[in-house]
Chain A
Amino acid sequence: MSENSLSIRKFSDLANPTRFLGLAGRVLPWLVGLTVVLFAIGLYLSFTTEGDYQQGETVRIMYVHVPAAWLSMMCYTVMAVSALGTLVWRHPLADVSARAAAPIGASFTFLALVTGSLWGKPMWGTWWVWDARLTSVFVLFLMYLGLIALNRAMDDPGKAAKVSAILILVGFVNIPIIKFSVEWWNTLHQPASVLRLGGSAIDPEFLWPLLVMAVAFTLLFFALHIAAMRNEIWRRRVTSMRRQAARAAGREA
């Protein structure tokens, strides 16, 4: 067997929900352990490093605000890749992945909005402005809520998968808008200071806690996503087993 077909085989093996359940059971304890350790280190660094000479203590809000904002976009990107998986490859786990990710993405977007507001009041003097960055993130939050509602409103899972996949891909246009809004328009929100051309513009005193917290939040996302996917697979099994039982009962009657 060629190396190429071997890797395709490995990929399609993962498409098997039972294999995914086995893998999730093995990976989750390690992922959870690593997440807890990284959060312990990240929180220790967040509260022991110096405050900013201008922002004072409020700079510590960055260590939860920035990872939450990154994750709000990363989660949507995961959903967009899953949507492609549903429409193009008809991967059996793709819709499970998109459906499980939506409430997690909505929660992180909510967190980014609230912590941003709590940082904005002392630094900008206002809780909220309708500038391009804040508005596009708010739109992202509404899109997550819409997708969750759509998935719950449709009875036919196959149809719901297709419709949400198309909607997810259409909504993906918002992700580059969020990312580049601070460059394209004049916003109260500052431009990027970590991921930017010319290197990070942030002092290492703040960069380290930020990076550790960002990795901790990312691992938390993957742990929650894998666990939520496992729940979704179980939910679908329960539904199909109940249907099967009802059919058998109908035949007997």
Chain B
Amino acid sequence: MMTHTAYVAASYGTAALTVVALILWVWTDGRARRRELQALEKAGIRRRSAQGGEAQ
């Protein structure tokens, strides 16, 4: 039999884990995409709209 405090702790623990997992997913995904864009730009590949001079 769990105490009431244990149910509260489990709820806040699950909330913390879910929120941290979401933040980590968004953050690592963003970092990976930025790296890919940088690598492409370094290789001399530019977006068509950026080739015309005006960066859109």
Q: Are B8 and A57 in contact (CB under 8 A)?
A: yes
Size class of the B contact interface (CB-based, 8 Å):
20 to 34
Q: Are A234 and B34 in contact (CB under 8 A)?
A: yes
Q: How far is the CB of A31 from chain B (nearest CB, A)?
A: 13
Known: A68-B15, A111-B15, A242-B40. Contact between A119 and B45, CB under 8 A? no
Known contacts A18-B56, A57-B8, A230-B30: A220-B37 contact under CB 8 Å? no
Interface of A with B (CB < 8 Å)?
16, 18, 56-58, 60-61, 64-65, 68, 103-104, 107-108, 110-111, 114-115, 118-119, 121-122, 220, 224, 227-228, 230-231, 234-235, 237-238, 240-242, 244-245, 248
Which B residues form the contact surface with A (CB < 8 A)?
2, 4-5, 7-8, 10-12, 14-15, 18-19, 21-23, 25-27, 29-30, 33-34, 36-37, 40, 43, 45-48, 55-56
Interface of A is mostly: helix
Let me know if B22 and A57 touch, CB within 8 A.
Answer: no
A65 contact set on B, CB distance < 8 A: 11
Residues of B within 8 A of A118 (CB): 7, 10-11, 14
Chain B's nearest CB lies how many Å from the CB of A252?
A: 13
* Total A-B residue contacts, Cβ distance less than 8 Å: 89
Instruction: Report whether A122 and B34 are in contact in the complex, using a CB–CB cutoff of 8 Å.
Output: no
A234–B30 CB distance below 8 A: yes
Question: Is A234 a contact of B33 with CB atoms below 8 Å?
Answer: yes
Q: Which residues of B contact A228 (CB under 8 A)?
A: 26, 29
Contact (Cβ within 8 A) B56 A227: no
Query: What's the least CB distance linking A206 to chain B, in Å?
Result: 14
Which of B15, B21, B47 has a CB less than 8 Å from the CB of A241? B47
What chain B residues lie within 8 Å of A234 (beta carbons)? 30, 33-34, 36-37
- What is the distance, in angstroms, from A163's C-beta to the closest C-beta of chain B? 23
Contact partners of A107 in chain B: CB under 8 A? 18, 21-22
Interface core residue of A103, A122, A240 (most chain B CB under 10 Å):
A122
Complex Cα spacing A68 to B17, Å: 14
User: Using Cβ atoms and an 8 Å threshold, which residues of chain A touch B22?
Assistant: 103-104, 107, 224
**By the criterion CB–CB under 8 Å, are B11 and A64 in contact?**
yes
A168 to B47, CA, bound (A): 32
In Å, the complex CA distance between A65 and B8 comes to 11
Residues on A with beta carbons closer than 8 Å to the beta carbon of B12: 60, 64
**A110 to B21 Cα, complex, angstroms:** 13
Option from B4, B15, B47 in Cβ contact (under 8 Å) with A64? B15
Q: How far is A31 from B4 in the complex, measured between Cα atoms in Å?
A: 34
8 shortest A-B CB distances, which residue pairs?
A234-B33, A57-B4, A64-B15, A115-B11, A61-B11, A238-B36, A245-B45, A118-B11
Tell whether, in the assembled complex, residue A58 and residue B37 are in contact, meaning their CB atoms are under 8 Å apart.
no
Residues of chain B contacted by A227 (CB below 8 angstroms): 26-27, 30
Complex contacts, B4 vs chain A, CB 8 Å: 56-58, 122
